[in-house]
Amino acid sequence: MIAKVYTLDGSEKGEIELPPVFETEYRPDLIRRAFLSAFTARLQPKGVDPMAGKRTSAKSIGKGHGMARVRRTREGRAAFVPQAVGGRRCHPPKVEKILHEKINKKERRKALMSAIAASANPELVRNRGHIIDDIPSIPVVVENEFESILKTREVFNVFENLGLNKDVERAKNGIKIRAGKGKMRGRRYRKPKSVLVVVSDLCNVVKGARNLPGVDVITADSLGILHIAPGGDAGRLTLWTEGAIEKIRERF
């Protein structure tokens, strides 16, 4: 596959031959499995105290008294049973529950390769919800000078020149307050994913682009399924630098 390389002002600089990984077969089943494996690997086992709600002197008085045979204290208050105030939970979470979904190494590698190839498919990128009408070509490859940009305003100007700005605005307009108790647990807002910027190494643009809504910056060596297929859905709009393409060629 051949991709066009663009300068910071949006003009064509030349062409670059993409690594063979961009021709990998699209496997949504493997991508979803690899995502679930990576996502559940971060979950911490949790459980309640095995004696929670059971530290009581309550006992049942038996049948024949015209009242429910639940355990009661001396004052007649029900205790211990799940339906009682302060009683035990019916089915509490247990630390022995298996939360992490394991996956074979070759399957995980195949899934990542498939997700990278999906990011170069305009149809899959569009189906994922990204706005690519003004983008000249998919995948988007930019010259290495992009990695030296430090200002967020300059990064957004490059996005405007390449036609990526509309997708960033879509992510900004899509920020919503989460429904449910997650609002109280540090995840108050739902933020859509926008452009993924893949660079060759840690550089200035990591600071310059991280303040744009929905934009993530990752090095080619650290690229994983959580970045290029968030939610298990492949086809994320991705901006590659020339150096990142070469690092991907060496990696796969």
Give the pLDDT confidence score for residue 210 in this predicted structure. 87
Q: Is the confidence at residue 241, as pLDDT, over 90?
A: yes
Mean pLDDT of 28-50: 95
Tell whether 146 and 244 lie within a shared domain: yes
Confidence band of 82 (pLDDT split at 50, 70, 90): very high
* One domain, residues 90 and 115: no
- Same domain membership, residue 184 and residue 78: no
Mean of pLDDT values over 160-187 = 95
Query: Any idea what the CATH number is for the domain that residue 35 is in?
Result: 3.40.1370.10
In a domain, 164, yes or no: yes
The answer on pLDDT for 93 being more than 90 is yes
Residues 73 and 156 in one domain: no
pLDDT score at 95: 92
Are 129 and 230 contained in the same domain? yes
Task: Enter the pTM of the model.
Answer: 0.85
Residue 51 lies in a domain: no
Residues 66 and 170 grouped into a single domain = no
The confidence band for 67, taking pLDDT boundaries of 50, 70 and 90, is confident
Determine, yes or no, domain membership for 6: yes
* Domain tally, the chain: 2
Same domain flag for 134 and 189: yes
Could you give the percent of the chain with pLDDT greater than 90?
91
* pLDDT band at residue 40 under the 50/70/90 scheme: very high
Do 162 and 135 lie in one domain? The reply is yes
Does 100 reside within a domain?
no
133, 153, 154: which is closest to 145 by C-alpha? 154
Q: Are residues 152 and 231 in the same domain?
A: yes
Residue 81 CB-half CA count within 13 A: 12
Residue 246 pLDDT level (bands cut at 50, 70, 90):
very high
Q: Contact at 8 Å (CB) between 191 and 185?
A: no
Q: How far apart are CA 201 and CA 11, in angstroms?
A: 24
74 and 111 both lie in a single domain: no
Is the pLDDT confidence value at 212 over 90? yes
Q: Domain range holding 61? A: 56-94
105 pLDDT band, cuts 50/70/90, is very high
Q: What number is the average pLDDT over the span 142-150?
A: 93
Whether residue 194 lies inside any domain: the answer is yes
- pLDDT for 195 equals 95
Q: Is the pLDDT of residue 6 over 90?
A: yes
Query: Interhelix angle for 165-173 vs 152-162, to 10°?
Result: 120
- Taking residues 219-247, report their average pLDDT: 95
| Confidence label for 48 from pLDDT (cuts 50, 70 and 90) | very high
Both 130 and 242 in a single domain? Answer: yes
Residues 183 and 87 grouped into a single domain:
no
Rounded Cα gap, residues 68 and 194, in angstroms: 59
Taking 90 as the threshold, does the pLDDT of residue 31 lie above it?
Answer: yes
In-domain check, residue 242 = yes
